[in-house]
Amino acid sequence: MKLAVIGAGAVGSSVVELASDHGHSVTAFADSSSAVIDSAGVDTAAVLDRKRTDGVVGGGAPEDALSAEYDVLVEATPTTLGDAEPGFGHIQAALERDRHAVLANKGPVAERYADVRALERESEGSVLFEATVGGAMPILSTIDDFDPSHITAVRGVLNGTANFILSRMATEGLDYEHVLAEAQDLGVAEADPTFDVDGTDAALKGVIIANVLSDDETEYTLDDAEVTGIQEISGSALELARADGRTVRLIAEVVEGSVRVGPRLVPDNAPLAVSGTRNIAQLETEHAGQLNISGRGAGGPETASAVLADIGRL
């Protein structure tokens, strides 16, 4: 497949790096200020090198990538809320040209799911977005395989940064501020970790799952989610939990059309008590009991793997 990759952060760059290994060529690649276009396939190693040294991917304008020749547009710009722009517009451009769109950007399917599906219905192209929930973990494809109507609930740890902080607080007896600073030093938490620690990122993923489960009947957005973060969790709360054989995890729950994210007590040895930056999703199925899927929920190559799996499905 010919790929137009929009976004040159960790995920977009990993998609470009791994594309040829999966039998694809990159015909367009754009960051926020530049683009490189080559219908015969760009020299990905040279482009990634230029991005690292010069900070740009090429001499073209970013919008040129949208009109380039491609089969699949990979939307890997940062997640934005509300109108989900510019990501939404990129997907629209692809679908209006009857091309496929594969998303790593959560905004369009968390905030404008009905609009995305409406565009898809009018297009020969399809939209897939496994990478938006749980990095490399095959959560949405498993829901799709079982058919959303046979999944009764999804619960999970869907934010690795918050989980790293809670794990470290519990095992080391350290307080929130201390562990957050450590996580930032390690690169596990971003300089502005707001969306990770206030539950917004996990809630966006819960909303996407709710949209997939209800599909076209009801649209969910972040406004429909009930969200509490981990900023108020104290070391003493974790100690109390520990004395009782339990720990605290930031759990996202999608049950019967409601999306809730908040700190919850879970048994120490329960599957939900994943440690470090790992994520887990528990799917309650109608006929096959509970399925647990755990793995790395974030990271460039991990998320790129989910993007490439989606492209394989197309």
Beta 25-30 vs 2-6: how paired, if at all?
parallel
11 is known to lie in a ligand binding site: yes
Angle between helices 44-54 and 10-18 (to 10 degrees): 150
59 is known to lie in a ligand binding site: no
Q: What is the Cα–Cα distance from 280 to 163, expressed in whole angstroms?
A: 10
* Residue closer to its own copies, measured from CB, 215 or 226: 215
Question: Least distance (Å) from its own copies to the CB of residue 302?
Answer: 4
Reported as half-sphere exposure (CB side, CA atoms, 13 A), residue 90 has a value of 34
190 is known to lie in a ligand binding site: yes
* Residue closer to its own copies, measured from CB, 98 or 268: 268
Q: What is the Cα–Cα distance from 110 to 133, expressed in whole angstroms?
A: 11
12 is known to lie in a ligand binding site: yes
Our measurement of the distance from residue 192's CA atom to the centroid of its chain's CA atoms, rounded to an integer in Å, reads: 17
Question: Least distance (Å) from its own copies to the CB of residue 268?
Answer: 8
Q: What is the Cα–Cα distance from 189 to 192, expressed in whole angstroms?
A: 8
7 is known to lie in a ligand binding site: yes
3-class secondary structure, 69? coil
Of 205, 246, 249, 264, which residue is the catalytic one? Answer: 205
Question: Least distance (Å) from its own copies to the CB of residue 25?
Answer: 16
Question: Least distance (Å) from its own copies to the CB of residue 138?
Answer: 5
Enumerate binding residues for its own copies (CB under 8 A): 14, 18, 21-22, 135-138, 141-142, 145-147, 150, 269, 271, 285, 287-296, 299, 301-302, 304-306, 308-309, 312-313
* Residue closer to its own copies, measured from CB, 40 or 245: 245
Q: What is the Cα–Cα distance from 167 to 170, expressed in whole angstroms?
A: 5
Question: Least distance (Å) from its own copies to the CB of residue 192?
Answer: 26
58 is known to lie in a ligand binding site: no
Question: Least distance (Å) from its own copies to the CB of residue 204?
Answer: 21
Reported as half-sphere exposure (CB side, CA atoms, 13 A), residue 28 has a value of 24
* Residue closer to its own copies, measured from CB, 189 or 304: 304
Q: What is the Cα–Cα distance from 156 to 206, expressed in whole angstroms?
A: 9
Beta bridge partners of 203: none
Beta carbons within 10 angstroms of residue 85's beta carbon: 15
* Residue closer to its own copies, measured from CB, 131 or 180: 131
Q: What is the Cα–Cα distance from 67 to 45, expressed in whole angstroms?
A: 23
Q: Give residues with Cβ within 8 angstroms of 93, minimum separation 6.
A: 66, 67, 73
Q: Would residue 205 show up in a list of annotated catalytic residues for this protein?
A: yes
Q: What is the Cα–Cα distance from 173 to 275, expressed in whole angstroms?
A: 15
* Residue closer to its own copies, measured from CB, 18 or 255: 18
Q: What is the Cα–Cα distance from 306 to 276, expressed in whole angstroms?
A: 21
List the binding residues for NADPH: 106
For the annotated binding site, the residues are 7-12, 106, 190
Active-site annotation, residues = 205
Binding residues for NADP(+) are: 7-12
Q: Provide the annotated binding site for L-homoserine.
A: 190
